[in-house]
Amino acid sequence: MSAAQIFSPSRFEFDRKLIEQLDGSGPRYTSYPTADRFGPAFGEADYLRVLSQRRIGANRKAISLYVHIPFCNTVCYYCGCNKIITKDKARADLYLDYLEKEIKLVTAAMGGREQLVQLHFGGGTPTFLSDAQLERLMGMLKAHFDFKPEGEYSIEIDPRKVGRETVFKLAALGFNRMSVGIQDFDPAVQQAVNRVQSEEETLAVIAAAREAGFKSVSVDLIYGLPLQTPASVAATLAKVIAISPDRVALYNYAHLPTVFMPQRRINEAELPSAEAKLDILQSSVKQLADAGYVFIGMDHFAKPEDDLSRALAEGRLQRNFQGYSTHADCDMIGLGVSSIGKVGASFVQSEKDIEQYYAALDGGHLPVMRGYMLDRDDILRRAIIQALMCRFSLSVSAIEEVYGINFRDYFAAELPQLEALQQLGLLSFDGDFIMVEPRGRFLIRNIAMVFDRHLRERKTQARYSKTI
C-alpha cells in the first residue's frame, strides 16, 4: 500500500518542541500571491477586462460574493479590520446608495445576471445595519444575481446587537449560515478588550438561528488576549462545546499596535507570554478533539458531519479570503470599501478610504485601489500552496503534467528546504508525492512558505502574524 493510500488529512500531532523550534511569522495564504504584493499597476481598466472575460463560455461558472459592511457601534481593541466607529445609522443608508452603484457597474461589466453560489457579509459589523437596511441590501443583490438554492449565504453576527426577530429576518432573506463572534466569555478579558458580551446574549442568538433553520452556526474565539490563562480559556471553550456549534475558529491574536491603532489601548503587560499562549493552544486543541471536532487546518475545527470536514476527507477543501471553504474555486467578487476579489488569474482590492471609495463611484468608476495579475509561475505556485494548505498532500506527477514542468528542475532552489522539513518530520517526499505528516499540520504555513517566491525574492513592508 502506497503512502498516498494510507494518508489521512484529518490526523494531526501537536509537537510542542517542533513548534517552538520553528517559531516565526508568515502569511496565512488566503491568497497567493498575498495581498501585500498587490499594487496600483493593476487598475480599473484591468478589472473591467477580466470581468468582461467571464462572458467567455468556460469562465462563466457560478460566483461568490463578499460584501464589506465597515460600521461598528463600538471598537473592540483587538480588531484589525477596516471599520468605521459610529452610532449613526444614516451613514449606512448613504453607504448602501454607493454599494448599489458598485453592483450596477460590476454586473454591467460582466454582461448581465450571474449565478450566485456563495455570499458572505463581513465587516466591521454587518448587523450594524437595521432590518430594513439588510432587506434593502439583499434586494439589491437579488435584483442582479440569481441565488442558487444549494448556495451558502453567510453573515457575521455580533450577539450584542442582534435579537431573535433579526435572526428570523435574516433567515427569511435567505441567509443559511452565521458566524458568531464570541472571542472569550471571561468578564475580565472582555473588559480588557472592550467587548462585553453575556453568555445569555450569545446563547439566545444561536438558539434563534437553529429555530429559524440555519444550516450551520460557527463561533469565533481568540487566544492570546490580555488576562487569558490556560484555565480561563478552557472554561470558555467548555461553554462553547456545550453550545455545540457546527464550526469553531480559534484565532491567534496578533498584537501589532503600530499597524492597528485600537490595539494601542491594550495593556501589553497583561498579554500572556509566548509559552502561555502555546499552553492555551495545546490544551484547546486537545479539548476540541476530545469533544469530537475535526481539525480542518490552521485555526478551523468542525463537527465530523459538517461540509468542511467532508470536503477535507474528500480532497475538496479550498481556501479563500474568509479562510477554509468548500466554494473557493469560484470567482469571488468583492463589494464595498476595502473588499478583495479574485477573478480568473487576478486579484483586486477596492479603496480602503471610504471618501475615496465614494469619489470613484461618483465619477462612474469602479473603486479599484490596487490589484495583481498572476503570471504562469504565480499560477503554478498558487496551485501547490492551495494543495498543501487544503489537501495536505501534493501529486508531483499531476503538477508536472498540468503545468508542463520537471518538478525537481523547476524547484531546485526549494528542494533543500523540503529535505530539511522532511528531516524534521513535517513532511515526507518520495519524489512522487509530498505528504504533510501529522506533526506538520500545525506548521502548514511554514511548509507553504517554501514555495512562496515573492517571500524569498521581494521585500515587503507587511508584518505577518505568527505561524502558530
3-state secondary structure of 182: strand
Distance, in Å, from the CA atom of 436 to the CA atom of 136, rounded to the nearest integer, reads 46
* 429-to-5, 414, 422, 426 alpha-carbon distances in Å: 14, 13, 7, 10
Distance, in Å, from the CA atom of 209 to the CA atom of 214, rounded to the nearest integer, reads 5
Cell digits of residue 218: 460557527
8 A C-beta contact, residue 31 and residue 345: no
Q: What is the per-residue burial (b if ≥16 Cβ within 10 Å, else e) of 114-152?
A: bebbbbbbbbbbbbbbebebbebbbebbeebbebeeebb
Cell digits of residue 425: 518530520
Distance, in Å, from the CA atom of 217 to the CA atom of 204, rounded to the nearest integer, reads 13
Per the listing, cell 491603532 goes with 261
**Of 380, 373, 377, 381, the residue nearest 448 (C-alpha):** 381
Cell digits of residue 7: 494518508
Q: Residues within the annotated binding site for S-adenosyl-L-methionine?
A: 66, 78-80, 123-125, 156, 183, 195, 220, 254, 340
Q: Residues within the annotated binding site for [4Fe-4S] cluster?
A: 72, 76, 79
Distance, in Å, from the CA atom of 155 to the CA atom of 312, rounded to the nearest integer, reads 23
> What's phi and psi for 99, nearest 5 deg?
-60, -40
Cell digits of residue 457: 525574492
* 263-to-57, 81, 157 alpha-carbon distances in Å: 47, 11, 22
Spell out the residues 6+ positions from residue 110 whose beta carbon is closer than 8 angstroms to its own: 51, 52, 54, 55
Per the listing, cell 461540509 goes with 307
> What's phi and psi for 251, nearest 5 deg?
-90, 145
> What's phi and psi for 273, nearest 5 deg?
-65, 165
Q: DSSP H helical segments within 68-198, as ranges? A: 90-110, 131-142, 164-173, 187-193
DSSP 451: T
Q: Residues within the annotated binding site?
A: 66, 72, 76, 78-80, 123-125, 156, 183, 195, 220, 254, 340
Cell digits of residue 142: 437579488
Distance, in Å, from the CA atom of 135 to the CA atom of 138, rounded to the nearest integer, reads 5
